[in-house]
């Protein structure tokens, strides 16, 4: 069987510029039980403005059981919030969770803290056109940014500790991404944000779609817009999908009775009816996505056929930008265009600003 790491490759990482720590630095200490709902809310006003601060969050845990948290870069320029869900593969068997015969196919399973964030920050922020504080035309220069790490191998959706048999040893993997989302939201939902933009890259894009209702519910009086980059929810090969469901016990949107049956039913749900206070729903979609093809069990033409179905079904407040190639994510390539001349940047700006160009385009 072929494996590949599902990573949102946006740009080469830069240097490890300073990240302030508002709690303990990287640690291997157990994360503890619970979703962290009793932990105090983040005091955004006490954080240094327009600098990164790492905050440990009780209840957030990585695959190996170590504690993790979130990174926050606040501003007072507006009351907008931008949530970034990290991508980075997935694993559902001992072989690909622990590197037995095949490489480990999920990122950061051994922990994620302030130092880890410093190593990936450029990939998601420093080198990306949309996140330049000192550039007037930068899309989210005036928003508060919150980075949600991905270190559970379960598309930010798992709810269980799974015990794998690995080289004669019983090893526990904490597939608790859904619990991490709950704990994260419980720390930030008291702040009076006026509009929420949730972005997910690759595996983070799948996690965003699986958790959109809970993100929106955390901010019930404002609109929450969703953008999944390189994360079209095509059906997964049935045997693989069954194993994922068994080992992750993934959590699906509330009220979705058939989301566990097929992976694409979650996207179908949101195309039909957004969560309460849900806003615009965007997808960038490389039709022959080489990473997703290997991950989900397709050849290029099979992936294209399934991706077209999803992209073409997005209308109204749902829109997809489709490009007929085998690349993966697009946020880091703003000049890239569809065959009809719409650029990635134009499409994403239209999503964020409710522009006329927010319509399904391409390939």
- Residue 184 CA to residue 308 CA, distance in Å, equals 34
| Chain-centroid distance, C-alpha 245 | 19
Q: Read off φ and ψ for residue 29, nearest 5 degrees.
A: -70, 150
- Residue 228 CA to residue 201 CA, distance in Å, equals 6
**No. of helices (H) and no. of strands (E), the chain:** 9, 11
- 3-state SS class at 247: helix
Quote the DSSP letter at residue 45: G
CA distances (Å), origin 4, targets 13, 27, 96, 201, 290: 20, 28, 10, 16, 10
Q: Which residues, 6+ apart, have CB-to-CB distance to 310 below 8 Å?
A: 232, 233, 234, 264, 267, 283, 285, 320
pLDDT, residue 346, reads: 98
pLDDT, residue 19, reads: 84
Specify the length of the chain in residues: 363
- Nearest Cα neighbor of 11 from 287, 337, 333 is 333
- Nearest Cα neighbor of 144 from 83, 214, 216 is 83
> In the chain, what are the domains?
20-353 (3.40.50)
Cβ pair 180, 113 in contact under 8 A: no
Q: Concatenated DSSP letters for 59-76?
A: EEE-TTSBEEEEEEE--S
- Alpha-helix residue ranges (DSSP H) falling in the chain: 94-98, 114-121, 177-188, 203-218, 238-248, 264-272, 290-296, 300-312, 344-353
Give the pTM: 0.92
- Residue 339 CA to residue 237 CA, distance in Å, equals 30
Q: Is 136 exposed, middle or buried (0-12, 13-18, 19+ CB in 10 A)?
A: exposed
Q: Which residues, 6+ apart, have CB-to-CB distance to 227 below 8 Å?
A: 197, 198, 199, 200, 205, 208, 281, 282, 283, 284, 348, 351
Give the other-Cβ count within 10 Å of 41's Cβ: 11
> Per-10-residue mean pLDDT for the chain, 363 residues long?
36 48 48 54 95 98 98 97 97 95 94 98 96 94 98 98 94 98 97 96 98 97 97 95 97 96 96 96 97 92 97 97 97 96 98 97 96
Per-residue tokens: 307: 């991706």
Per-residue tokens: 112: 């994620």
Cβ pair 5, 106 in contact under 8 A: yes
């Amino acid at each position: 069987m072929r494996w590949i790491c599902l990573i949102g490759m946006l740009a080469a990482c830069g240097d490890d510029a300073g990240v302030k720590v508002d709690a303990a630095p990287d640690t291997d200490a157990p994360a503890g039980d619970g979703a962290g709902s009793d932990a105090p809310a983040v005091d955004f006003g006490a954080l240094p403005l327009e600098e990164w601060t790492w905050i440990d969050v009780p209840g957030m845990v990585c695959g190996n059981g170590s504690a993790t948290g979130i990174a926050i870069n606040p501003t007072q320029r507006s009351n907008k919030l931008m949530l970034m869900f990290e991508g980075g593969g997935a694993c559902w068997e001992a072989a690909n969770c622990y590197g037995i015969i095949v490489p480990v196919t999920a990122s950061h399973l051994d922990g994620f803290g302030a130092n880890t964030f410093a190593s990936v920050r450029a990939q998601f922020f420093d080198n990306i056109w949309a996140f330049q504080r000192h550039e007037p035309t930068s899309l989210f220069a005036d928003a508060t940014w919150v980075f949600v790490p991905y270190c559970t191998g379960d598309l930010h959706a798992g709810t269980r500790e799974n015990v794998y048999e690995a080289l004669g040893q019983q090893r526990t993997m904490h597939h608790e991404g859904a619990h991490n989302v709950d704990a994260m939201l419980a720390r930030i939902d008291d702040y009076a944000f006026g509009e929420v933009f949730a972005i997910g890259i690759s595996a983070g894009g799948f996690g965003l779609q699986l958790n959109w209702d809970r993100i929106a519910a955390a901010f019930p009086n404002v609109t929450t817009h969703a953008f999944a980059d390189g994360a079209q929810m095509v059906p997964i090969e049935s045997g693989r999908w069954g194993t994922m469901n068994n080992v992750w016990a993934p959590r699906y949107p509330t009220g979705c009775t058939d989301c566990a049956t097929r992976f694409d039913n979650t996207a179908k749900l949101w195309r039909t009816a957004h969560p309460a206070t849900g806003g615009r729903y965007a997808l960038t979609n490389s039709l022959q996505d080489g990473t997703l093809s290997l991950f989900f069990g397709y050849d290029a033409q099979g992936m294209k056929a399934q991706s077209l179905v999803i992209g073409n079904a997005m209308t109204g407040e749902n829109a997809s930008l489709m490009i007929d190639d085998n690349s993966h994510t697009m946020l880091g390539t703003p000049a890239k265009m569809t065959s009809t001349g719409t650029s990635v940047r134009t499409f994403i700006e239209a999503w964020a600003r409710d522009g006329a160009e927010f319509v399904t385009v391409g390939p």
